[in-house]
């Protein structure tokens, strides 16, 4: 009884296997995106195509990110963001110890370190 039911569904199983093959094939073409991207100027390698594109700007000197407030152009979007903060006066990084605010995180990091040192000096 059970055996006969299995045979009966044989055609369906085959159809499913075929669609499974189609799926692996489409997955195979999508696999190209996970291939490593190599820089043609140096030995830089990345998994992300966007990263390579951004890296290439270093060689070509291209700066595709333009400031909307002035003529300043950047090769890196995050650098441009920092530049724009200068126009808007926005300072997104706030010191946890005082009202100091910084445009860049590393500026705040340096500032916070000073704080700790100063505290230590006061203690001595
Ligand atoms: Zn390179
Ligand atoms: Zn600007
Ligand atoms: Zn502070």
- The pLDDT tens digits for 67-115 are 999 999 999 888 999 999 999 999 999 999 999 999 999 999 999 998 8
Query: Which ligand neighbours the alpha carbon of 59 most closely?
Result: 1
Dist. CA 60 → ligand 2 center (Å): 22
CA of 81 to the centre of ligand 2 (A): 10
**pLDDT at position 119 over 80:** no
Nearest ligand to residue 39 Cα: 1
Q: What angle do CA 118, 120, 124 make, to 5 degrees?
A: 115
Residue 57 Cα to ligand 2 middle (Å): 19
Residue 46: its pLDDT value, please? 96
pLDDT level of residue 48 (50, 70, 90 thresholds):
very high
Percentage of the chain exceeding pLDDT 90: 58
């Amino acid at each position: 009884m059970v055996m006969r039911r299995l045979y009966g569904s044989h055609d369906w199983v085959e159809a499913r296997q075929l669609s499974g093959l189609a799926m692996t094939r489409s997955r195979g073409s999508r696999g190209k995106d996970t291939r490593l991207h190599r820089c043609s100027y140096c030995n830089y390698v990345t998994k992300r195509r966007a990263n390579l594109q951004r890296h290439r700007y270093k060689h070509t000197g291209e700066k595709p990110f333009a400031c909307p407030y002035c003529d300043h152009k950047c090769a890196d979007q995050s650098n441009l963001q920092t530049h724009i903060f200068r126009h808007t006066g926005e300072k997104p990084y706030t010191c946890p110890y005082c009202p100091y605010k910084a445009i860049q995180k590393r500026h705040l990091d340096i500032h916070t370190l000073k704080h700790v040192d100063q505290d230590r000096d006061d203690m001595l």
